[in-house]
Amino acid sequence: MASGFFAVLDDISALMDDVATMSKVATKKTAGILGDDLAVNAEKATGFLSNREIPVLWAITKGSFINKLIILPVAFLLSAYLPTAITIILLLGGVYLAYEGAEKIYEYIFHRDDKGVAEDPTEIPEEELPELEKKKIKQAIITDFILSIEIVIIALSTVVNEPLVTRIAVVSVVALLATVGVYGIVALIVRMDDYGYRLINLNEQTDSFSDKVGKVLVKGLPIIIKGLSIVGTLALLLVSGGIFNHNIEFLHHLFPAFPSLLKDFLVGLVVGLVAVLLMQVVKKVFKRN
């Protein structure tokens, strides 16, 4: 009886060790999308009144958890009974990620001056604020859903040859870390300016150490948001390019002398630009009709 009990413990220990190892690998594979997820959500969680940023972010976080609860069972079923669907979904998601990255570059180059000044939430009528919040939360949750599909599928692709129990455990851990880690960091980022103002008002001195740190935090928030946006765009193209290079045999053996990062970026950029051009054509056709 005792030997059987210890044998079970040994099996559980071995399983946990496999899960921990594979989770590290899967997390590295999804790091690019996690970076973009962080950049996108940090941008979407700003632009509200200070006392509404955390409630809005919490609403998006709850939506993200629900997204994972919907996506994970479907992904596990496909992995068990229709594994080829995983590759197809991965490639379709790669097209979407490439499109998102290339569109940001396209908009920056050709429509940079078309973007108006961001709307100040303090100037919006109070009765319109709840509706604005709901709209932004809905948009953020939809974006999270698409990114979550890619995170789950990429994580699943790293353990596709492992036993089902290991697959479920590894992908669930990655999904949980993605939500908790990303939105935890976003919460810290969006409150940077608030912490900065608190430090500035900590004492009556005008040039104290707390004032200097506070000013750095206040001035640093828009710089960090912009930096994350740039990093997120690069991550979109690199991740999408990596998806195509690893799953399409022709691309995998094309230009073997190229550094892998450069190849991933170029493939992602080309696919993205083609997708952007096609979307522009479709929009023009619908506009004429």
pLDDT tens per residue, range 171-221 = 888 888 878 888 888 878 777 877 888 888 877 777 788 888 888 888 887
Highest mean pLDDT among 159-168, 247-256, 266-275: 266-275
Q: What are the domain boundaries of the chain?
A: 16-193+223-246+258-288
CB-based contact 36:229 (threshold 8 Å): no
pLDDT of residue 12: 41
**What is d(CA 195, CA 11) in angstroms, rounded to the nearest whole number?**
48
Residue 13's pLDDT band (cuts 50, 70, 90): very low
**What is d(CA 91, CA 87) in angstroms, rounded to the nearest whole number?**
6
Report the pLDDT averaged over residues 228-252.
82
> Computed from CA positions of residues 23, 25, 27, 30, in that sequence, does the dihedral angle turn out positive or negative?
negative
146 pLDDT above the threshold of 50 = yes
pTM of the model: 0.70
CB-based contact 191:54 (threshold 8 Å): yes
Residues in the chain: 289
Report the pLDDT averaged over residues 25-49.
61
**What is d(CA 11, CA 166) in angstroms, rounded to the nearest whole number?**
12
Instruction: Please tell me the number of Cα atoms within 13 Å of 5 on its side-chain side.
Output: 2
pLDDT of residue 30: 58
pLDDT of residue 33: 61
